Every structure is written in C-alpha cells, then in structure tokens.
Chains A and B, each alone.
Chain A
Amino acid sequence: MRSKFKWIFALCLALSMQFAFAQEKTVTGVVSDETGPLPGANVILKSTKKGTQTDVDGKYSIKAKAGDVLLFSFIGMKDASATVGASNTVNMSLKSGDGVNLEEVVVTSQGIKKEKKALGYAVSTIKAEEFASKPSTDIARALTGKAPGVNIQATSGLSGSGTNIIIRGYSSITGSNQPLFVVDGIPFNADTNSDGNFLEGSTNASSRFLDLDPNSIESVSVLKGLSATTLYGSAGRNGVILVTTKSGNTKDINKKMEVSFSQSLYMTEIADLPDYQNNYGNGFDQAFTQAFSNWGPKFGVKGTQGIDANGMVDHPLAYYGAEIFPQFFETNQAGNLVAKKVLYAPQNNVEPFFRTGVVKTTSLNIGGRGENTSYNLGVGHTRDEGFIENNTYQRLNLNTGGSTKLSNGLTLSAIMNYVKTDKTAPPTAAGFGSNALAPSVFSNILYTPRSLDLFGMPYENPLDHSSVNYRTDIPNPRWTLKNSSDNESVRRYFGNFTASYDLNSWSNVSYRLSMDNYTQTKVYYINKGNGQPFDDEGFMRTTVNENLIYDHTFSYNFDTKIDKAENWNIEGTLGVNPRLEAYRYNYMASTVQFIYGFLEHQNFENNETYSESQSFNVVGMYASTTIGFKKYLYLNLQGRNDTYSSLQKSTRSLFYPSASLSFVPTDAFAGLKGNKYVNFLKFRLGYGSSAGFPDPYKTKIGLIARTNSFLQSDGTVINTLSQSNELGNPNLKPELVKELEFGMEGKFFNNRVGIDLSLYNKISTDLIIDRPLDPATGYDTTADNIAEVSNKGIELGLNLAVIKSETDGLSWNITTSFTKNKNIVESLGLGDVKLLPFAGFTNLGNFAVPGQPYGVIYGSSIKRDGNGNYIVGADGNYVEDNELKKIGDPNADWRATVINEVSYKNVTLGFQLEYQKGGDIYSTTAASLLSRGLTEDTDFDRSGTVVLPGVTTTGNINTTQIGWTQYGFNNSGFFINEQAIYDATNLRLREISLSYSLPKKLLERTPFGKISISFVGQNLWYKAFNFPKHLNFDPEVMSLGVGNGQGFDYLTGPTAKRYGFNFNLTF
C-alpha cells in the first residue's frame, strides 16, 4: 500500500515541476459584469496558459509582460481578451453570452464544483430558503418532498425523533440504506444510535444529522445516482447528501461584512386525534367491566348490565382500598365504609394528555472578508418542545470558518463546528393495543376507556408514588409520562483543515483532513412503581457511544485546454482517501431503585455493564476526468478502488468505475441557439458502480464469554465460554452495485417550462445479507454474498412559470416532482428458500422474497378455501391461517409533490402538497382503536348479532351469528394480521407559508440589507383515504425505526403539525 502512495506522490511532484519564474511586472485589475465585480472569473495569459482567478471583489493579479494577451472567461459569459499595455491595470467587463443562460454551478463529489450542464447524472440542489427558518429543526425533514427520488420519512412526530432517508429505493437487504452525509467535505456520521430494538422503542433515537443547524446551511446537493457518487466510494453507495454550510462556503461572501439574524417561533401539536364515540363505555359484551375495551353498555343505561340504578359505577380506583384512597370511600347508612360511585359517562380523557409545544430558533451569522481572507462565524440555538410533556430537544451550534490565500499560491482554510444537543422524550416501546413489553407512553393512552375520567383521578399512589389505574395490569399513561424518560445528549466536534497549493495556472494539489467526533450519552429510566414485571422496581440505563471519523484526502486537480483551438478541455482529479471510522460503546443498566425518583446508578441495587469497540479503515484511491468538447459535449470517467480493513486479504479490495456523457444540443447546433421555444436542452447518460462493505468482523467470529452466568446456592459463580450463534464467513466479499441512468433536462417557451427527467436502473449484486440458517447447522446466521436487488425508477421534475413578471409584479411558479421506484428483490440465492424476514418479527414483518417488491409484509391471514372465500370457524369468527402469506406491500406506487409559489411585490405565498399513492401499513393504532370500540367508526348499534361473510370449514355459507363485540374485537386486526393492514395512500399539505419582505427602498437609509417575516405551517392537513374515517390516522410513521423496516405502526408516536413565524434580518 505504502509503495502506491509513493508512486502517486512522485507523479504529482513531476507534474508540479514546471514552475516558471520570469522577470515580469504585476498586472492587476477588476473583472465585472453588469451587476458588479465578478468573483471566480478566470484570467489566463494566452502565451503561457498560466492563469488565476478573481477574488471575492473581482480583483485579480497576474504577472505578465507588456504585449501579452490576457483571456478573461466566466461561466455563462462571453469570453473576452485584452492586451497588456504600459499600464499595470487592466479592467474587464464581461457580457452575458448570446442566448446562453447563466449556467448553474453545482457542487459534486469531493466538493468539486462543476457546471451543471457538464454533468452526466442528476444532482438536486436545494437552496437555503427551502430549509432555513422552517418549523422543522431537522435538516432532513425540511427537505421532504423537495428532491425527486429522495424519500424522507420521520419515525414519529416527537421532537428529536429519528428520520429515515432512502434515495432511489433500498439497494441492500440487511445492510444500511441510509445515504452518506458530507458536510463541507467532512464525512459526517448520520447514524441513528438506538439502544435496544423497536420493541423497546428504538424509534425514539435521533438521527445524528439532527446536529446540523438548518439555518447555518448555505445549500444542499443530493447526489442520487452511482455515477455521481463513485468518488465517495462505498460510503456513498446509497447516495450522498452534500451540505455546504455558510462557514464552508467562503467564496460566496461578496460584501465587506454581513450580519444576518433570524428568529423563529413555532408551535407543535399532535397532527390529529381520533374522533371518539360518546355512546358506549368500558366493558365487554355490553356489560360494564374493567376491560381494556369499550364494548360496555350504552351511556345512560341504568340498573342493568353492571350499571347501578342511578347510572353510577364504583370509583375506578376504589379497589386500592380506603387506606390508600380514603377520599374515594364514604360511610353508608349502615355505618360501613363503601366505595364512592362515579357517573358512567363519556370523558374528555385523551386530548388533555397532549400539549402545544413551542419551537424557538435563534441564529446569528457574521461573514466577511479581509485582503485575500474570508471568514464566517455563526451561532444558533434551537429549543424544540414536542406535543407532549417531557419531550424537548435543544441544540446549540457554534461554527466558524475561514480561508486565506497566501501570495505564494498556498490556500489554507479551516472550519470548526461544535454542537451540543440535549433531548428528553418519554419512552416509546412498541404497543400492541393491550400493554407494551417495555415502558411506552403512547401504547396505553389512545385506547383509554371512554368512561374513565383519567384526568379527574390521581395517577399515583400517595403512599409510594406507584402507578394507579383502573386495573393494575396497565400502567397509568400519565404516570409513565411523569416517571420515565429516554434522554439523549450529544457533544460533537467536527471540522476540517484544508491546504491547497497552486502548482500552476491549471493544476493544484490539495490536502484535507476532516474529523468528526461525537459522544452520545443516552439515559433511559423508569422510576419504581409502574406495576409491570421487573420494571416495577425501577430501571436505569446509561450508554455512551463515542464515534470518530478521520478522513484524509490528498488530491491532485487539473483543468486545462488540450488543443490550440481550445475546443477540447480536460479537467480531472487524482486522489487518495484513507478513512478511519471507530466507535466505543459503554453500557450500564441498573435495576431495583432504592429511593423513588433519585436517578443515579448508586441508587439502584443491581448493575450490569457491557462495553465494546469497533474500528475499520477504508483506503480509497480515485481518479476522475471530464473531457469537454466545445462546451456541449462532456465525457466524464471515474474510478475508485477501495480497500477495507475488515475482510480477508483476497477479497478486501474492489475497483469500480463509472462513466457519463452529457450532450447539450442547444449549444451544439447553431439552429437551436437562441431558439424561443427550446431555450435549453441536455441529454445525459451515465453508468456508475459502487462497493458495499459488510460490518466489521464478519469473517471471523470470536467466542462469547459470560461471567456470573449462574450462581450456585453456596455462592459459587459460574462463568461460561461459548461459540457465537453467528458463523464467520472467510469468503465474504464486497457488494457490487451498478446503475445505468439516462436523463433529459430542458427549458422551453422562453424558460417558462423546465423539465428534468431521470430514468435509472440500479442492480445490487453479491448483496450481503445476514443469512439466517437452520440452527441445525450449529449457527443461526452468517453474512453471505447471495442476494440481488434492483431498483428501476423515474424521477421527473417539472417547473412551470404560470405567470412571469419582469418587475416585481405578480408571479406564479409551480414546481412539480414525481417519483416512481420499483424496488424488486431479484434473487435471494438461498436455493429453495424463498422467504427472508429482515425487519419486524419473523412472523409479521418485512420480508425479502424473490420476484416480490422489497420488504413485502408477511403475516397471518384469514384462511381461504379453494375459491378464495374466507373460512369461518364454528365459533363464527374467521379462521386464522398461520402459514405466512404476503399481506401487504409497504412500497408506495408513486409519490408526487407540487410546490406553488405565488408572489406579488414583496409578498410570497407558498404551499407544498404531497401525494403518496399506495403503500401498505400494518397499523396497531387502527387495530386497537377499532378492536376496542373507541372511535365513531364503531359507533354502530351494538345490539343484535352479525354474520361474517364467508364459508364454513365444510364449505357451506356461514350462518353463525356473533355479537357486535366479537365482530369488532376479533376482526379488527388483533388476531389476524391481515385485518390490520391498510393502504396508506394519502394527500397532505406539507407546508404553507406566507412571507413578506420589506421593500428595498424602505431599507435604503437603514443599516439593514433585508428584513423579512414569514408565517409557516407544516403538516396542517392530511387525508389517508383508505383508513376508517374517524381514526384521523396519519400513516407517516415508522415504528420499526430508522433502517430497512417500513410499513409498521406500533403506537410509537403520532405525527405532529407545526405552525408559526420566522423573522429574518441582515445588515
């Protein structure tokens, strides 16, 4: 390896030998266009091809002799030239090119900026306005719907909860499908570090891109295809989200100094609650009991069905006895102490559980420049309160960056960020409509019996603070909210140091060291007294996760014309990129709390500890070149070789190439130049590939050592050593992902219509899956390269300037995006085995099945006869088919977004509508609300009987009558999984905003550059068409957490809506 490094160094040194130092004078000047100085313009000495670029003030300085010709050029401008005369100053004013629109410059992989038209692949760029000062404090959520092909989904509406990002479908079955975040060139760890699995509430965990302050970001580029991400290596195989912060974007600061300030204030509420029925209360089979369900008597019933003659029932807490709750007892006429009665009547017992949270964000940014030096300083503070008590997310961001260009050609820049986040949230274990296996705040609240006055009674035992409820086997949700928490705090430092040295006018070498280091501490606890097994004694867990990424990039970059006629241009880069990723994990769990409410581990009787660490290196070497012909035909070739430290020697290295072609007919054919109808047209074709490496240490598995496995009665400690259940696979090799992409971009009808179309076909081969084994092999699982998954899709962006205004009159812009992705598991490579559960439960979860869409939901279904009729058992209920069958497909058929922007003078109205067609979800929320008879959907006349449509086991038409209680309780998804599956098709108003910026005229005499105020609402309205109407259920939840599971709702937290305003000020 080392010898290869030396070889590259030698090459770079050889290329940099051609320094020329002649006796010349220094020519200076300012390059400008109609609007002012032009930074970044090229100034080239025609004779020697040496050149420079203008600085932020459009100034340049170059050594030249009298008589030399200087060439000036800038993207989108006509080239110009001037001859150096006696004067030492040459100023130049450039003009826009004929019929050529100012071409967009985009940031591509490894931070290389390119003209968009030279790209042979799709890049979506999202500007600051789209996500800064928005109600969502999570950068990813702020991007929802903004880029076609990118599916962003929150796990729940809780503040600080995780967010799942999938670009162009899932390409790995059991590996990660989350994209790489690169912030100012720093590979940024965006993991969602949860303790435990979804059953214990892993959805609560934050995704670490939450550490980014949307207000400090200048722009975001999404590299979707593999031909775009090849240079990032295996880490970029799921797409790359390139974030440029204001500190990183030192080039853009034109003014002397700019201070911008923004303040926003938003409210968060639960998106919606179900419409509860007010006719039936607690009970079963029309009799009043302390059931979980609401199949009790009709309200108003007296003297029957378990209701007293005066319409009263025993106080729900009376069964605790008079010693604990004397207030619920009275002495009757006979002198006996008897329980007080309460009226059997509907209560408002769910809505008060939720609150309106306040989200405040303040950010201040100062940027400016000195002579050859620019700097930026930013500070941001966010306090994001959720829609439920004890859910607050706070973040402090400090960032600074600067760049200086020395006169000797060396440019030094550095960026530093410090982030401090603190989150509290109630625990959100998966709920099943009865009780959760672990503390869970949402699992028990939504199905509170209609007749239980939850807020009119105590939630804790006054003697020992333990939970009290209408029955002992369900913790009071109010108690859970007060007594348990799942907290997270992060201290993070990330930054980079970059040095580049101009070897000559057309090449440079650069080195960048990036570091991202954070420590995430999670504290999870529940005080003693929730009445559940083991948790009743109290529990506390602290985990510390320290994560480190070191990334070095050494590159040689060049950009030059090849031939005299300057028709051919070649640019490129050669780089070496070693990266280290490491983490250290410490765990401590304590049980049996001593003093109630005191939360330190020494206050618990038993402690258990665990620790582990992991580290791997990927050394990448890459080369990329773009050959351009006359600025309308571009060929881009790239290749990267990655070597991974945790595979066996023979398989640890993989080379993967990519190539793309871009052709701009509107520049190529004279006939199309300046055309009124076709303003711009570009075709592109790309092929890309990438590697996927397994988690470390999969080829060789060590032993499992357990101390204190058992304690004999005489106190003898028994320790054990055993083999792992995982089988090491020494032949494991990297996954290979390949993608072919075709695209078309165009602007038509005087730039009123813009189209951006991409078609892609991506195939992941040698896909590594944690292949489950028949335990009879001695092992349960092994990592193996066996599966194949494909993604074929269309991404269509359409811009429509419905009304265009030259001045600041009325204008109306519509931006539409349409995404359709077909994600198919092509092969599992498991021989005759056709089912691989990879998320959820093994008998109800997301499965990989050859020929089927990725992650189809398998579970139990209603048994059918040969003709497809439902079979009804002798008890009048459907017979369950335990054999796993496909019961749903969580993948949406397609998604579309329509963003409207209407502006008149200084007022802008924007609204974003999103539609998802198809995609199934298994919903416990629906199952429990319907099974327990809570919503207006079940507010039918419950007397009499009903017959389920179907046939008996002998094939006759079913005639067995069942009560409405059975009908509702047994057929709403509690028993047969298929009955809890719903189509999640939905339409939502993702965002609506109204903004006003003060006219420039008013500001002319003030120190302010810009003042604006916006009112924004997010998720204010939605409709899931195929759910029972009164559930008001928002299917945009992911109870399996961030990862590969989708289409499950286990009551882990509803969605939120947010609304409020922001205020922006620059001076």
Chain B
Amino acid sequence: MKMKNNLLKWSFFLFVFTFVGCETIDLDQIENPSQPSVDLLDPVYAFNYIQLQLPDFVNSANTFTQRVTRQMAMSSGNTYDNAFAPVDSNTNWNIGYNLLNAVKIMEPKAITNREFYALGAAKVIRVYVLMTMVDVYGDIPYSEALQGSANLNPKFDRSADIYKGLLLELDDAIAVLGQTNNSNSEIQDLYYGSQANWITLAKTLKLKMYCNARLAGAELGVTISDKVNEILVANDYIDQQSEDFQFQYGNSRFTPNTRHPMYNDQYELGGGAYIANYMMWAMTTEKKFDLLVGGNGVVVDANLTYDPRIPFYFCKQVGDPGGLDSFTLPRRARPAHYDNEEYFSFYFPTSDDIRTPYLVSNWIGQTGITSNGYLGRDHGDNTGIPPDADKRTVAGIYPVGGAYGLSSSVQTGGDKGALGAGIMPMVLSSYVHFMLAEVALELPAAVTGTSISAAAELEAGIRASIKKTVNLIPDYPYATGSAPVSATLLSHENKYVTFVMNKYNSASINKLELIIKEYFLAAWGNGIEPYNAYRRTGYPSNLQPTLEQASGDYYYTAYYPSDSTVNNPNAPANLRTRKVFWDKAGLILH
C-alpha cells in the first residue's frame, strides 16, 4: 500500500512536470512570429515601398488642393469654415512622414551596401515630399522630425528654413546619385531608367523651389534670379516629355489594384467625386468652345478653334445634362453674386454671356443652361446627393486612364476606357515651361544668357501639355464616331495655340494671369501646382466663388492634421490665414 502510494505520488509529480516543463514557462517571446525581423530590411524593397507611397502622397495632397482650386468640386461644406476639418489632413501627413521615415530607415544599410541608386532617388523623393508639405502646410516638423521615441513632440521649423535645408539636401542627393551603384544590386525603378534622370529631377526641384519663392529670395538669403539663372545656364532640367516626373499606374483591378485613384472612384459604381464646374467651364465655355461641343464632347472638324484636350480631360456620361429632372439639379435660385463681373470669362471679360457657371459647366447668359454642358458641382455645394451617379461628368483618359468620347454610363465596374492605367503627374516638362514663362516675365534677369522668353515658354508649355494629353495612351478605346485623327488633333493644337498667343500679345490682357491660367488648365490632375500658383499670384482671379457669398477666409495653408495637433503640443494653432514664407503678395483670395 505504501509503495503504491509513493508510486502514485511520484507519477503525479512527474505528470505535472511533463506538462509544466515545456511550453507554458517559456518566458522569452518578444518578437512577433508573424512579422519579419528588422534585420531583414533590404534597401531595394524599401525603395519600392517609397516609390509606391509617393503617388498616394500626391493623391492625398490633391484631395485638398484640387478642391480649393476648383479642379474638383468642394462639396463637403458651403463655406471654408466647414469645408475641411483638421482630420481631413491626416492621410496626407501620415503618408508623407511615413514615406520620409522609410527613407531614413533604409539609409544606413544602403550606404553599407553601396546602393546609391536607390538611396539617391529616395532622397530626391524625400525632398519632393517635404517641399510639397511646406507648400501646403507652411511650417512643419523638419529638424526634429522622424526621431521616434527620442522626440515625440518634434518642433515645427519655419518654412523658409526648411526650403533652405531642402536645397542643401538636393545637393546631397545629387552627390549620392553621382556615385557608382553596387553592380550586384538591381533596383526596380518605377519612374526612370537611370541615375542621371534622377539628377535632372533633383536640379528641376531646385528650379521649382526658386520659382515658387520668386518673391521671397530674402527669406532664403539668395537672389532668386541668380539661382534660377545658374540652373538654366547649366541646362539640366526637365524640359522634355521623356524626363517627366510622373507615376505610371497600371490597369489591374484586383490583387493588387494598380489603377489611378480617381478611376477607382469614378469608374466603378456610385459616381465618385464631382469635378468642379469651374474647371470644365474654364476648358470650354470660358473660351466659347462649348458651343462646338457635341453630345460626346468630341469635335472632329479640324477647322474649328478648339482645345483638343477637352475630350481627353473629361468624359460625359450623358450628352446633355440640361434635360435632367428637377431633383438632379436643385431648384434653388442662382446666387446673385455669381453674376458679378469679376467672375466673368478671362478671355471675354466684357461679354455678358460668359458668367461663372452654375449647376453645370455651361451656364450662359442670364437665363441659364443651353445644351451639352458638363455636369459637375459648384464650389461649396454641400446639398444632398441626387441620384446622378451615372450622369456626372467623370475624368477622361488624361490623367486617370479613363474613357474617351462616350456619352453613356461608366458606372460599370471598371471596364471602361484605358482601365485606369493613367499617370499621377508631379513635375512635367509643361509645368516647367510655365514656371519659366512666369520667371522670364517677372524676373527677366533670371533668363539672361539663355534663349528663354516668356512667350516661347508659354507656347512650349501649352504644346507640351496638349501633346502629353493626347498621346498619353496610344491605343485607347473610343466610341464610334469619335475616332481621334492625329491631323485634326494637330490642327486643333495649332489653332488653340494661336488663339492663346493672340490673347497674350494683345495689349489689354494680363500676361501673368494668362500664363497662370494656362498652367492651371495644364495641371489637370495635380492640385498642388495651381494651389501654389494661386497663392503666389492670385490667378486665376475669376475662380468660381462659393455658393454662399460669405465664404470665410480662404485656405492660405491647409489645416494641420488632427493627428498632429492633438498629439504634438508643439503644433501651432490652426488658422487658415497662416501663410507659407513665399506667399508674399498680400492677396485676398477667395
């Protein structure tokens, strides 16, 4: 009995130890078995991440900038007070700094491995992101940013200081890109094919910063015209299409979805975001082109003066929105201030017919819509959404990879047009031409010793924009009867250029405004450039006002994101009247 007792006792303890001894008392389980360890970071794949975050960053900056510049309709509020909230800036800020952190984290290993291609390109992208953030927000965390737990409350540096820092960073990036890359490391460059292209971009970014800070050389401690002149004389900047800084989207709908975000929004179901009536009006009605436009927006008569970009920019879902029922077009009366002269056509300012649009792009005269307008939304129209998902005008081939020449619904699950294989334009050669036209006009010293002139750059910009637009996708599908003929396109391009240059050369026109206006039109798909231009110059001055006349202060900078203001005590107060250092013209914007 006693022996049996002992046997039982010991087998009992043994039993306990067998179970307890193994898995349940391992006390060192720090690393997540479902995540790769940080030692596995590979600069090539980190660079891939950076490259793919960039278009998302620009897209999130666009959601704000395109709406305050009337590329897209601002429908989230009827005044500037309620149109945006700090929370709306979160995505842009998050993606931006996340991308910057990825650049920082890849750097040590990239240096060790001598992977200068990826590192240099990543550094250029870093500068583009930071300069964009400065342009949009003004002062932002820079010198104390990205330090993780070492500094959870980074201070906000002055925007001018950041510009200065970025100019130096570009020199650094150019130096890195000048080194020979480790021959055993092969990167996947989604933008260019060589280190030299990235150097050209880096130099162009310098040019862009100086042009943007045209009035604020003192804050940067430089003479802008000298600095611009240096770059122009060296003649290594983006001045042809092959050098364009853009992201090329794909046409895969699922796993992964590689399409242009606006295509995702507008070509699936639900209609997507509205295009601003002003944008479509400025392309068509403002220059009296709308009278030519047929139900599908395509003009085939080569003898007419016409902007060939129109059907590439916009795709109608219905030929004539004028006939829509009263619910689609709200019944409230056209606001009186929409008839103010300051919003009349820039090209035909005395014509009583070309007033700012209302409800659709082509409000003409005092009585209202004629046929064949484009259905968008007015600035600050926050009324309920009518069932017009298959009636709104959507973005066309350029730059989203959409459809061409349709007049039927594209709410068909992503099977229309170029399937979303568009581009995210960032720094295009056309943009650079417009920038140079502006500095040539305003700071003639900047172009001394070069053959650059304002008029020539303006024309080059328009032509580059048209060529880029109509040739973006060589074999896009088109509807019957809207087949594009290259001779017609060229004829339209020439006639359009003639139209604009005649205006430019006429005595009565404001030349700078005309340059900015053309820049505005060419920038379709990128809200950052027109947002900068508007604050720098106040042009276009006839942007459609908010439906509610008392709009409140314009967004001279975007709201800081709530993710920053709530969590970082160093974040400044959110004021829409806060300005970037280069915003020196003292303009009252609307």
Instruction: Report which A residues bind B (CB closer than 8 A).
Output: 1-2, 5, 9, 21, 284-285, 287, 289-293, 306, 408, 410, 434, 471-473, 499, 501, 511, 513, 531-534, 536-537, 550, 552, 554, 576, 578-580, 591-592, 605-608, 611-617, 619, 643-649, 652, 696-697, 699-706, 708-713, 716, 718-725, 727, 729, 771-780, 782, 830-833, 835-837, 842-843, 860, 873-875, 879-880, 882, 884, 953, 969
Contact = CB atoms under 8 A, between A and B. Distances in A.
B567 A720 contact: no
Contacts of A532: 269-270
A711 B252 CA distance: 7
Given A21-B2, A710-B190, A776-B93, 18 more contacts: A606-B255, A615-B29, A713-B248, A713-B250, A718-B188, A774-B152, A775-B93, A776-B146, A777-B148, A780-B98, A782-B149, A831-B569, A842-B566, A860-B85, A874-B550, A875-B78, A879-B82, A882-B81
B268 A533 contact: yes
Contacts of A718: 48, 52, 188, 190
Given A578-B24, A711-B250, A537 B145 contact: no
Nearest to B105: A723
B256 A471 contact: no
A32 B27 CA distance: 51
Nearest to B29: A645
Q: 9 nearest interchain CB pairs?
A: A702-B35, A832-B569, A289-B327, A778-B101, A774-B568, A776-B141, A612-B34, A721-B45, A720-B49
Nearest to A535: B269
Interface residues of B, number: 105
Contacts of A5: 20
B387 interface: yes
29 contacts: A1-B25, A292-B384, A408-B1, A408-B5, A471-B387, A473-B387, A511-B12, A552-B20, A576-B20, A580-B24, A612-B34, A646-B29, A646-B30, A702-B32, A702-B35, A703-B37, A705-B45, A709-B49, A709-B52, A718-B52, A720-B52, A721-B48, A776-B140, A778-B101, A778-B104, A836-B566, A837-B566, A842-B562, A873-B79
B331 A287 contact: yes
Contacts of B34: 611-614
A533 B13 contact: no
Contacts of A771: 567
B506 interface: no
A647 B254 CA distance: 39
B494 interface: no
A703 B255 contact: no
Contact of B30 (A608, A611, A699): A699
A501 B15 CA distance: 14
A835 B36 contact: no
Contacts of B569: 831-833
Nearest to B254: A606
A402 B222 CA distance: 89
A613 B141 CA distance: 37
B269 A533 contact: yes
B507 to A, nearest CB: 40
Contacts of B147: 777-778
Given A290-B327, A410-B8, A578 B269 contact: no
A1034 B13 CA distance: 56
B25 A777 contact: no
Given A536-B269, A708-B256, A879 B81 contact: yes
Nearest to B264: A533
B98 A725 contact: yes
Contacts of A647: 30
Contact of A776 (B48, B145, B190, B271): B145
Nearest to A283: B327
B327 A777 contact: no
A284 B327 contact: yes
Contacts of B482: none
SS of B interface (majority): loop
B252 A777 contact: no
Contacts of A652: 27
B390 to A, nearest CB: 7
A410 B10 CA distance: 13
Nearest to A582: B23
Nearest to B409: A472
Contacts of B190: 710, 712, 718
Contact of A697 (B32, B104, B258, B385): B32
Given A472-B390, A775-B94, A703 B562 contact: no
B473 to A, nearest CB: 11
A90 B177 CA distance: 100
Contacts of A2: 25
Contacts of A614: 32-34
B549 A874 contact: yes
B27 A843 contact: no
Interface in B536-566: 548-550, 561-564, 566
B234 interface: no
Contacts of B421: 713
B571 interface: yes
Given A554-B16, A710-B52, A777-B152, A721 B98 contact: no
A591 B252 CA distance: 13
A488 B443 CA distance: 70
A501 B331 contact: no
A906 B86 CA distance: 66
Given A536-B269, A578-B24, A780-B563, A719 B94 contact: no
Contact of A513 (B19, B101, B327, B390): B19
B31 interface: yes
A606 B101 CA distance: 32
A501 B12 contact: yes
B26 interface: yes
A617 B27 contact: yes
Contacts of B561: 775
B351 to A, nearest CB: 30
A308 to B, nearest CB: 15
Nearest to B247: A710
Contact of B250 (A513, A710, A880): A710
Contacts of B550: 873-874, 953
Contacts of B327: 284, 287, 289-291
Nearest to B92: A775
A618 to B, nearest CB: 9
B94 to A, nearest CB: 5
Contacts of A780: 94, 98, 563
Nearest to A836: B566
Contacts of B5: 408
B568 A842 contact: no
B218 interface: no
B534 to A, nearest CB: 23
Given A472-B387, A473-B389, A843 B562 contact: yes
Contacts of B77: 880
A836 B2 CA distance: 66
A774 B571 contact: yes
Interface in B264-280: 268-271
- Residue picked from A723, A727, A835, most chain B C-beta under 10 Å: A723
- Residue picked from A9, A472, A531, most chain B C-beta under 10 Å: A472
Nearest to B156: A776
A779 B271 CA distance: 35
A472 B254 CA distance: 24
A293 B386 CA distance: 11
Nearest to A288: B327
B45 A702 contact: no
A63 to B, nearest CB: 13
Nearest to A721: B45
B45 A720 contact: yes
B32 A696 contact: yes
Nearest to A953: B550
B417 interface: no
Interface string B243-265: 00000101110111010000000
B36 A705 contact: yes
Contacts of B26: 617, 645
